[in-house]
Amino acid sequence: MKTSFFAAFLLLILAPGLTQAQTATKPKTAASTAAKPKAATPARPSAAPMPPADKVEARAKALTDNMRQALGLTPQQVIKVNQINLNSVRGVETARLRYRTNLRKLNGVVEDIGSARMSALKDVLSADQFTRYQRKREEKMGVPNTSAAQGNPVPGLPGGEQ
């Protein structure tokens, strides 16, 4: 049960990019736009690419179902968590399409989406549910908890082994 919960989340974060290619455009200048006649283009390169809605909804539903089972969500929480997951999955997939050639930017955007998701989940889940969720997330994803990140005390200082 907990494996499928985190496997779905890892799939969200680590899934390979979609097949739509991103095209690079050079900046337009007044001379370049005046010299060339405008041609009809099938899609605007400046428009944000959109991931397939059915794929986004399926991933969000899988995440929500796993959280419902693992955390014992109420029906009201399920609705709110599903919306949070839907927005997060859509954001990550859109970022993957938009920044597929700029991994540094992609990682930053995905990190921001993850932080926003955690903040939103904290507002919806009870303190106990959020603590359980964080603990499972730390175990599965290797996210260090705050006490483990501090390390051991320096030998010879108070609080250390003598």
Given a contact cutoff of 8 angstroms between Cβ atoms, the answer to whether 100 and 162 are in contact is no
pLDDT score, position 112: 96
Cα distances from 64 to residues 86, 124, 149, in angstroms, run 9, 13, 29
Q: Give the integer Cα–Cα distance in Å for 62 and 38.
A: 45
pLDDT score at 134: 92
- Three-state DSSP class for 46? coil
* Chain centroid, CA 66 distance in Å: 16
Query: What's the pLDDT score for residue 143?
Result: 62
pTM for the model: 0.60
pLDDT in tens, the chain (162 residues): 444 444 444 444 444 443 334 444 455 555 545 555 555 544 445 566 788 899 999 999 999 999 999 999 999 999 999 999 999 999 999 999 999 999 999 999 999 999 999 999 999 999 999 999 999 988 888 766 555 445 555 566 555 554
Residue with tokens 């014992």: 72
